[in-house]
Homo-oligomer: A and B are copies of this chain.
Amino acid sequence: MRNTFPAQRARRSNLTRSPKRPSPPPMQLGMIGLGKMGANMGRRLMRDGHEVVGFDLDESAVQALEDDGATGAPALEALVDELEPPRVCWMMVPAGDAVDATLGDLLPHLDEGDIVVDGGNSNYKDTLRRAGRAEEHGLHYVDVGTSGGVWGLEEGYSMMVGGPDAAVDQLRPALTTLAPGPDKGWGHMGDVGSGHFVKMVHNGIEYGVMQAYAEGFDIMKSKEKFDLDLQKVAETWRFGSVVRSWLLDLTARALEEGQDLSGIEPWVDDSGEGRWTVKEAIDLDVPAPVITDALISRLDSRVEDSYTHKLLAAMRNQFGGHDVKSSDE
- What residues make up the interface of A, taking CB atoms closer than 8 Å to B? 1-7, 9, 35-37, 94, 121, 147-152, 155-160, 162, 179-181, 184-187, 189-191, 193-194, 197-198, 201-223, 225-229, 232-233, 235-248, 250-251, 253-254, 261, 264-271, 273, 275, 277-303, 305-321, 324-329
Contacts and interface: CB of A to CB of B under 8 A. Distances in A.
25 contacts: A2-B4, A3-B155, A121-B329, A148-B240, A185-B236, A189-B232, A204-B215, A204-B219, A205-B213, A208-B213, A209-B213, A211-B212, A214-B308, A219-B286, A222-B284, A245-B245, A250-B319, A251-B318, A254-B318, A264-B313, A264-B314, A265-B325, A268-B312, A297-B312, A298-B309
Given A157-B240, A205-B213, A314-B254, A324 B269 contact: yes
Given A189-B228, A290-B208, A321-B36, A158 B201 contact: no
Given A208-B208, A245-B244, A233 B198 contact: yes
Contacts of A155: 3, 240
Contacts of A2: 4-6, 9
Most chain B C-beta atoms within 10 Å of own C-beta, residue among A7, A194, A213, A290: A290
Nearest to A18: B1
Contacts of A281: 215, 219
> From DSSP, what is the main secondary structure of chain A's interface residues?
helix
Contact of A243 (B181, B205, B267, B292): B205
B226 A194 contact: yes
Given A198-B220, A293-B290, A319-B242, A206 B329 contact: yes
Given A152-B240, A250-B318, A212 B291 contact: yes
A202 B242 contact: yes
Contacts of A206: 242-243, 329
Contacts of A298: 309, 312
A205 to B, nearest CB: 4
A206 B216 CA distance: 10
A324 B321 CA distance: 41
Contacts of A180: 1, 3, 239-240
State the 7 A-B residue pairs at the shortest beta-carbon distance, nearest first: A208-B212, A245-B245, A185-B239, A158-B241, A266-B309, A158-B240, A187-B236
Contacts of A301: 306, 309, 312
A322 to B, nearest CB: 8
Contacts of A213: 205, 208-209, 311, 315
Most chain B C-beta atoms within 10 Å of own C-beta, residue among A2, A226, A228, A312: A312
Contacts of A324: 264-265, 267, 269
Given A227-B190, A284-B222, A289-B289, A325 B269 contact: yes
Given A3-B155, A201-B216, A187 B232 contact: yes
Contact of A223 (B9, B197, B220, B238): B197
Contact of A329 (B248, B266, B271): B271
A185 B215 CA distance: 21
